[in-house]
Structure 1
Amino acid sequence: MASLSGVGVPAAGAAEPITSAGDPRLGLAVIGGIAVIVLLISLFKLHAFLALTLGSLALGAFAGAPPDKVITSFTSGLGSTVAGVGVLIALGAILGKLLADSGGADQIVDTILARAGGRAMPWAMVLIASVIGLPLFFEVGIVLLIPVVLLVAKRGDYPLMRIGIPALAGLSVMHGLIPPHPGPLVAIDALDADLGVTLALGVLVSIPTVIIAGPLFSRYAARWVDLPVPEKMVPTRGSDGPDTRPGFGATVATVLLPVVMMLGKALVDIVVDDPAHPVQRVADVVGSPLVALLAAVLVGLFTLGRAAGFTKDRISSTVEKSLGPIAGVLLIVGAGGGFKQTLIDSGVGRMVLDVSKDWSIPALLLAWLIAVVIRLATGSATVATISAAGLVAPLAADMSTARAALLVLAIGAGSLFFSHVNDAGFWLVKEYFGMSVGQTLRTWSVMETLISVVGIVVVLLFSLVL
């Protein structure tokens, strides 16, 4: 199985466990380490990067591990995670910024909405959010799409939740299940799963999940919460946008290019199945995440940037501005990798493996439950994904390629369970839609729970035949 880097194995310099897997303190150390992270994030409002760093040190201290070895595990895990995933996050941010600033996102939205109306509109919003959500971070996708949702609801006189829930569902499913989003990428890396296979299965799992949690659930959400469109949030066209916009076909092709390249590699791996074959060797390079995303960015410079009339200086400025906002994401993901490596090197993974042998819970369901607990506690889907992946990594050692991919998706589904007041996304949605806390819980939070539950059900069904 191909992985992004070696993060899933013990870090260099910490190949030997820093504690004994049979140490009775390990279980309490895990609870204590996670509790420290939870309290620091939820109670003291500490940044997740600092919380994960302190939680890793606390985990080692509670387990009685030598401090120098704990630091080595954490820093090695942080470095290898950033090295394996950081470049991909940066490339995704550049592509997302080009898509937004060039007007390509607007072009996709306008084209689809021109062909949709009435009952088809919620399905159109799912399609828009899913396509645009591929290269964009969740928060960026919300900021980009919710003003469009408000505009469509106002102009078409649609119930706000009937249009908003499908768009939010499309973004959330992409964020939790589909690489190159940070959570799925780190889980793929930690479990040594194949990215192409995970992407293909992720798409298949996402389709029924987003349908149920999006257009179908929006019918009930619109009845439960009937709100007028908040006038102050409805966007007005500014004067600093591009003079021209890239074409619909070119924009969609650019967004889907890395997906097609990575899926192509997965197809070649299945059909050829010979690492020494020239076709597979070429596909391994062309379909690697780094090359696929880099190709999309380079193509996007022309199909998005130049097509919008951007000068060389404007393109350079757009790329530069795209990298600043991801600094915090990189730090959180890196610290999460350090926490994961500390879990692995402390022997926690082996302990989970040994304990789970006596349980009747399937590995996929176990991974989902662990992610759910961490998600509820910390409010962060990324932290839940990273931590759960570190805990269940040993379970993937003897799994087939398809099973390891399903394990990644099970964790991703669990990481989306019931967003509430400790999740930044909860407040972002609340403010944009002008809802109360209770209304946000009845709509957004229920939608997230549906995505999580339907996702794991579909994953378990796939496991029966794969």
Structure 2
Amino acid sequence: MSSLFAFSLATLAIISVIVLIARFKINPFIVLFSVSLGLALCAGMPPQKAIASFESGAGRVLGHVATVIALGTMLGKMLAESGGADRIAVTITHMAGKKRISWAMMVIGLLVGLPVFFEVGFVLLIPLAFTLARRNNVPLLMLALPLGAALSVTHAMIPPHPATLLALSAYHADIGRTILWGIIIGTPAAAIAGPIYARFISSRIGPVQASALEAQFVNHELPESMPGFGITVLTIMSPVIMMLVGSMADFMAPAHSALNTSLHFIGNTDIALAVATLLSFQVFGTARGFNRETILKFTNDCLAPTALIMLLVGAGGGFGQELVDSGVSSAITSLAVGAHVPLLVLAWLLAVVVRVATGSATVAMSTAAGIVGPILLRTHSASPELMVIVTGAGSVALGPLNDAGFWQIKEYLGLSVGQTIKTWSVIETLIAVLGLVFALLLSLVVG
């Protein structure tokens, strides 16, 4: 398959998804499924293999994301029903002031996002955005978009996030300097793509329908009794702390030792969220006077609105897998490798290409680093730490429709496909471009 044909095929598939959903109002899951199969067949895949590829991609993504969404939604529901979200909202409003809430959400996203994947941080913190928006009569996008931008920046550029650790190894980069450069580059990128862009775009995309999930997380009346701020924050942060401990397991105990294995186990995303959810049943449930039947009702009721989100996330994964298995992704990557550009730009460009082709930031970062890493080790023509950062920046570019995060943002915030492109896809692209530009400028100083 020629690179030009592969690029044209992928472009046509993406345009078809947008048009069929936005213009013809066809169910997004049906569109993603149909277009994915059409792309695979046009690329020459046998029909049975095309179907199996979609199922494999959908299952792979849902195997992780569905558990995260389910546990995170239950935790958020308990947080909301107990008044814990209101307690945090009142405290943050008092400390930051109404005019700086969007900046406060960005800071929270940067801190919480360090050890966790984007999807995890988002489901943990979106109930807080819902509550703050309602309590302060602020558009939800003004809070949710800065939160998402900050989580995306930490996912891409700042260790010890799992994705950046892959690139650190490939480029033989120093983790301390990478964290320093990541903070210097990532913070202004998050500010521009987050609070600043959110203020610009929120009034320019037309009316936004209330998300079906908002009712699950927002109490319309301020509760008379709310849990303490400290215990509330500790409960929400408990999975973040567990994941951070898990990411440091190899520094705290010898590999394959019992302690090392135990730390990795408790730091697993699913385990950490499950423990936090069970903890919330006590802290936000029985300790607040709810009986077991009421807690069961809360956890059952809140899952119904997540069904479409999970279907769309899975379909996005299936779409990405079709691009990989059909050879379209590989052909487009070869096109990028053939470009004669500086190493920092090549790493960024490759990550962008793989991101569009697969939808996964982690896959984009690891693939690009795997290709460019050996070249860097031979030439030493760029800073290894900046190579990590530009690869991460490129790995979140464009926020494509085959990315699970695109559909997660769309459904949680009640956006149309067009509105999601104008908000989330632009934010992801801003982060990617700003990350590259700032890294190139910094390379003039640090070499």
TM-score by length of 1: 0.66
1:289 aligns with 2:269: yes
Equivalent runs, 1:235-254 vs 2, <5 Å: 238=220, 244-254=225-235
Q: Does 1:279 align with 2:259?
A: yes
In structure 2, do the counterparts of structure 1 residues 99 and 368 end up closer, same or farther at CA, with 3 Å as the change threshold? farther
1:115 to 1:270, Cα distance in 2 relative to 1, 3 A: same
> 1:395 maps to what in 2?
368
Q: Which residue of 1 aligns with 2:398?
A: 414
After TM superposition, the structure 1 stretch with the greater mean CA deviation from structure 2, 396-405 or 78-87, is 396-405
- The aligned counterpart of 1:386 is 359
Name the residue aligned to 1:269.
250
Equivalence for 1:103 = 83
Which residue of structure 2 lines up, in the alignment, with residue 150 of structure 1?
137
- Equivalent-residue separation in structure 1 for 2:182 and 2:314 (angstroms): 26
Q: 1:23-45 CA deviation, whole Å, 9 max, x = no partner?
A: 87433332332232122122212
How many Å separate the matches in 2 of 1:314 and 1:408?
44
Q: 1:352 aligns with which of 327, 332, 345?
A: 332
2:289 to 309, 321, 325: 309
Pairwise mapping of residues 110-259 of structure 1 onto structure 2 (< 5 A)?
Answer: 110-117=90-97, 123-124=103-104, 126-127=106-107, 134-136=121-123, 143-150=130-137, 167-174=143-150, 176-177=152-153, 204=183, 207-213=187-193, 238=220, 244-259=225-240
Judged with a 3 Å threshold, the aligned counterparts in structure 2 of structure 1 residues 411 and 74 are, in CA distance, closer, same or farther, namely same
Q: CA deviation at 1:336?
A: 1.1
Equivalent residue number for residue 23 of structure 2: 43
CA separation in 2, counterparts of 1:83 and 1:263? 22
Change in CA separation of 1:264 and 1:458 when aligned onto 2, cut-off 3 Å: farther
Contact 2:3/2:331 (<8 A) preserved? no
Question: 1:231 aligns to what?
Answer: none
CA distance in 1, matches of 2:441, 2:250: 24
**Does the CA contact (< 8 Å) of 1:268 and 1:280 recur in 2?**
yes
- Within 2, Cα distance between the matches of 1:142 and 1:121? 10
Alignment of 1:332-347 (within 5 A): 332-347=312-327
Whether 1:363 aligns to 2:347 is yes
CA RMSD of aligned residues (A): 4.8
Q: Distance in 2 between matches of 1:461 and 1:305?
A: 51
Describe the SS at the equivalent of 1:115: helix
Aligned with residue 300 of structure 1, among 267, 271, 280 = 280
CA contact (8 A) 1:95 1:135 kept: no
Call closer, same or farther: CA 1:459–1:148 in 2, change over 3 Å. Answer: farther
Please list the CA deviations of residues 369-396 of structure 1 after superposition, one character each: whole Å capped at 9, or x if unmatched: 776xx7xxxxxxxxx9827777787435
Aligned length: 386
Aligned-pair CA distance for 1:171: 2.5
Residue ranges of structure 1 left out of the alignment (5+ in a row):
1-20, 152-159, 180-184, 226-235, 375-383, 418-422, 431-436
Matches of 1:267 and 1:393, distance apart in 2: 20
Letter in 2 for 1:249: G
Pick closer, same or farther for the CA change 1:142–1:445 going to 2, 3 Å: farther
Relative to 1, partners in 2 of residues 1:391 and 1:268: Cα closer, same or farther, differing over 3 Å? closer
Q: CA deviation at 1:65?
A: 1.9
Give per-residue Cα distances to partners, 1:250-287, cap 9 Å, x unaligned.
Answer: 11111111111111222233455x43233321111011
1:463 & 1:344 partners in 2: Cα distance? 33
- The TM-score with structure 2 as length reference comes to 0.68
Q: Which runs of 5+ in 2 are unaligned?
A: 114-119, 156-160, 170-174, 205-217, 374-383, 402-408
Residues of 2 paired with 1:118 and 1:174: CA distance?
A: 19
1:272-303 C-alpha deviation (Å, 9 max, x unpaired): 5x432333211110111111111111111112
Retained in 1: the 8 A contact 2:3–2:334?
A: no
State how far apart, in whole Å, the 1-side matches of 2:61 and 2:195 are.
36
User: Percent identity between the aligned chains?
Assistant: 32
Q: How far apart are residue 368 of structure 1 and its match?
A: 4.0
Deviations 1:106-141 (A, max 9, x none): 101112333344876664465577779935378766
